[in-house]
Amino acid sequence: MLKTAFASAFLATAAYASAAWLTHDFQVWTAEGARRLEVALRPVATPPVQVQGPSGPPQPLRKLVADGQAVTVLDFVYTRCQTVCLALGSVYQQMQASLQSARQTDAAARRVHLLSISFDSRRDDPQALADYAARLKVDAAIWRLVRVPSPEGLAQLLADFQVVVVASTQGEFEHNAALLVVDTQGRLVRIFDYADHLLALDYARYLAATGAP
């Protein structure tokens, strides 16, 4: 009986310790929650990958997001998506409209940019990005669309930002959808659910105004 009691106590202690470690002392209970907490505690530098927009040659992603002036809210999409990316597109249209209005009187709003990165570089060539921008009425002064031409560069970017993309046999993708806030130094500092886009935008404007992470 005593041995059984000790064994039970040991297993309970081990289970508690394991749960505490897996959940960052019980602050999170999901992998996505852990990802968001880790980013908030330890910002992630944008990797040195090349991206390409609807026109012009490839350029470093860091050149877009680490200019020392603007804060960027970015997401990962593919233009043929008929599910969550449609919701993300609608969210970005709302954020674009909000920034267009706020920029008239708010200097911080003028220092917030939106960026959508396609992870389907094979199909999302520059013309596909241009067509997508036209459909969503993208204001190029606020919202930019790019792809990552290099498979190696794309793999590095997805890994560093912990973005999960799984291809299906039908040529579609399953992926985690979120809004990633990158500061003026090109560091990923916060991750928001796309349903909290107003909160993400307010945080980006705050960051643009104060420079505080």
101, 55, 132, 173: CA torsion to nearest 10: -120
CA distance 206 to 213: 9
- pLDDT one digit per residue (tens) for the chain, 213 residues: 544 444 444 333 443 343 333 333 434 446 778 888 898 899 999 999 999 999 989 999 999 999 899 999 999 998 887 766 667 788 999 999 999 999 999 999 999 999 999 989 889 999 999 999 999 999 999 999 999 999 999 999 999 999 988 887 677 777 778 899 999 999 999 999 988 999 999 999 999 999 766
Q: Domain locations in the chain?
A: 2-37, 43-210
Beta strands 112-118 and 143-147 are parallel
Provide the whole-model pTM: 0.82
The CATH superfamily holding the domain 43-210 is Glutaredoxin (3.40.30.10)
